[in-house]
């Protein structure tokens, strides 16, 4: 665990120190129309913060390659090369989009190619660890992998609408997934706890936490397309890789770990972004718009319109993300007789805090309308 904590610390410090160095570059090339009608911020704010996140991950990977603890991971360098190459493409594609605003179809082509890079370096879904669902065709394995990578990248992208939201939720997801991946590693060997997914999640956790102080409301810099694509790609890669761990040659050693975790946990980690993505697509298609069209109908926008401040809306989204992610892990490993009541109370409390202002506002509107009706009669 100490080695993983070291990686988290290095990624945190690197991201924290690198972000202020990236900001002047973003200011220098800041577009004049940086603030749009749909944006929640009113002051022009540079992007390119995702470059600092990627830089922290690169440095962490380089450092890990020199630590004997991770020798088992680097014996097969193909997955690492795939991640490194995908990050390089993400930086190029993300910077171009942050500066010049690429067309949606060009973004989609780039995202698909990122997924192909990951799949082409051996990180593919071969089966699901629940039931007997196996994908024997290599083309099908690649196709499903690409779809998952593109889906998660876009889910994170759709969440990036309030200061600190995407970075904080991603940190919560990375922390939860790191804990699970580390628990898997401890089941394999009492001597070697190195794990590819745990390493990626540790680096992602440190990088996003280091970026968050600069990005929390009021943000001095945004992560931009580079950040959301990098976070989405790393999360997808970690979830795909850990599925392979459970189904590998040492699968029998995971018998004390719930088999559904590799499927349910990644979905729970990004449940809110995925739900927001699905609702956004339905909403836009029903209006006759492109599913990639931007609007202010996202969950975080509705929270602000419902009476919460930007900071409170972001913190509430943190709480919901933590409940979704940690709930799956706790349900699988803790005593349910103790966990379920506590979790139920937490859901009620967070739900009341979230929708309380909206309910009160509607009650006040109803009472005001009744009062006007009585006075007019």
Distance CA 168, CA 191 (A): 33
pLDDT at residue 249 in the model: 43
Q: Could you tell me if 48 and 230 are in contact, meaning their C-beta atoms sit under 8 angstroms apart?
A: no
pLDDT at residue 116 in the model: 97
Interacting residues of 77 by C-beta distance below 8 A, sequence separation 6+: none
* pLDDT, mean of each 10-residue run, the chain (377 residues): 93 97 86 52 79 97 94 92 97 92 90 96 79 76 93 83 85 89 74 86 97 91 94 92 62 52 68 72 75 63 71 84 81 77 90 78 75 69
Distance CA 320, CA 273 (A): 11
Q: In degrees rounded to 5, what are phi and psi of residue 158?
A: -70, -25
Where are the domains positioned within the chain? 2-303
Cα-based distances in Å from 56 to 69, 207, 222: 20, 6, 16
Q: Could you tell me if 187 and 254 are in contact, meaning their C-beta atoms sit under 8 angstroms apart?
A: yes
As given in the structure block, the two tokens for residue 75 are: 């014996």
Q: Which of these, 228, 259, 224, lies nearest to 245 by C-alpha position?
A: 259
pTM recorded for the entire structure: 0.84
Distance CA 316, CA 209 (A): 17
Distance CA 117, CA 111 (A): 10
């Amino acid at each position: 665990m100490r080695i993983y904590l070291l990686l988290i610390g290095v990624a945190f410090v690197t991201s924290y120190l690198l972000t202020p160095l990236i900001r002047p570059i973003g200011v220098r090339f800041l577009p004049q129309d940086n603030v749009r009608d749909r944006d929640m911020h009113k002051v022009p704010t540079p992007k390119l913060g995702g470059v600092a996140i990627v830089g922290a991950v690169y440095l962490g990977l380089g450092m890990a390659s020199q630590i004997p603890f991770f020798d088992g991971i680097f014996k097969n360098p193909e997955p690492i090369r795939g991640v490194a190459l995908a990050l390089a493409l993400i930086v190029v594609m993300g910077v171009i989009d942050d500066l010049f605003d690429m067309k949606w179809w060009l973004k989609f082509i780039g995202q698909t190619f990122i997924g192909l890079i990951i799949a082409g370096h051996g990180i593919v879904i071969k089966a699901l660890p629940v039931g007997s669902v196996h994908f024997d065709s290599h083309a099908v394995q690649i196709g499903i992998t690409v779809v998952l990578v593109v889906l998660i990248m876009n889910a994170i992208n759709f969440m990036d609408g309030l200061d600190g939201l995407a970075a904080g939720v991603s940190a919560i997801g990375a922390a939860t997934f790191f804990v699970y991946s580390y628990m898997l590693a401890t089941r394999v060997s009492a001597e070697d706890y190195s794990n590819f997914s745990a390493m990626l999640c540790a680096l992602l956790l440190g990088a996003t936490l280091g970026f968050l102080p600069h990005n929390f409301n009021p943000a001095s810099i945004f992560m931009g397309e580079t950040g959301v694509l990098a976070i989405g790609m790393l999360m997808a890669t970690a979830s795909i890789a850990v599925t392979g761990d459970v189904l590998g040659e040492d699968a029998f050693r995971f018998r004390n770990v719930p088999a559904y975790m590799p499927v349910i946990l990644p979905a729970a980690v990004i449940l809110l972004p995925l739900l927001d993505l699905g609702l956004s697509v339905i909403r836009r298609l029903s209006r006759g718009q492109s599913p990639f069209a931007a609007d202010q109908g996202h969950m975080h926008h509705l929270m602000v319109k419902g009476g919460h401040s930007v900071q409170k809306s972001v913190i509430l989204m943190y709480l919901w993300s933590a409940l979704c992610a940690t709930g799956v892990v706790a349900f699988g490993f803790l005593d349910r007789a103790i966990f379920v009541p506590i979790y139920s109370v937490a859901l009620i409390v967070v739900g009341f805090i979230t929708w309380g202002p909206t309910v009160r506002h509607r009650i006040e509107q109803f009472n005001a309308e009744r009062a006007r009706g009585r006075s007019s009669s």
